Amino acid sequence: MADAPSPLEWGVAMRPLSGETESGDKAVLESSADVTLAAVIDGLGHGPEAATAARVAAEILEAGTGQEVGALIERCHRALKQTRGASISIAAIDAGDNSMTWVAIGNVEGRLVERQWPTRSIFPAAGVAGVELPQLRPETLDLRRGSTLILATDGVQSGFSDSLAASGSPQQVADRILGEHGRSTDDALVLVVRYLRVAK
């Protein structure tokens, strides 16, 4: 994973299922010009085969910064047909116009947390990349200074944002979510990205 450049700071917390040496969950953070691609991949199941699916998708996303998010999931779908498949959430953060376009497929979670604004949630399309690709509906949102994006796999309980305080560094937020809401029955991963827009 590349270091996130300004205007972002980020943190990731993850753990494999107990007894496994590899995790089927993977995070991607890559930048090109003003656009940063943040993504979370959950290979179906757990163990080495899930990890293989996650790696295949990660390689495509790492090379695809600047491409439209729906097209990236379509590319992952084609490449994952020889694997178990994966759930994927992607957000393209554009510092040029202070916006984010996100899309997801499968059993993944996404939240955009902002002070004094309601928390917004991603609505994943039903399906699994590599198995069944439904119609995708990317959504574009405005970002403000301090907007905090949280992407999580299904190894994190879905109610993690109900009482979430996004205070602290992104790494502290990720660690807290994983520690308080991570399931013991699956791989788990949380990626937290904070937008630090500088007024023009």
- CATH code of the domain in which 75 resides: 3.60.40.10
Distances (CA, A) of 20 to 45, 56, 110, 157: 12, 19, 26, 20
Which residues does residue 12 pair with via DSSP β-bridges, in sequence order? 191
> Kind and range of the H or E element at 69?
helix 69-79
Predicted confidence at residue 159, as pLDDT, reads 81
Confidence of residue 65 (pLDDT cuts 50, 70, 90): confident
The answer as to whether 112 is a domain residue is: yes
Measured between alpha carbons, how far is 188 from 152 in angstroms, rounded to an integer? 8
Structural domain for 96, as ranges = 8-195
In this structure, is residue 200 part of a structural domain? no
Assign 7 a pLDDT band (cuts: 50, 70, 90): confident
SS3 of 151, please? strand
Residue 105 has which token pair?
Answer: 């497929």
Please report the sign of the dihedral spanned by the C-alpha atoms of residue 63, residue 66, residue 69, residue 74: negative
Structural domain count of the chain: 1
Residue 2 within any structural domain of the chain: no
Query: pLDDT tens digits, residue range 18-35?
Result: 888 899 999 999 998 889
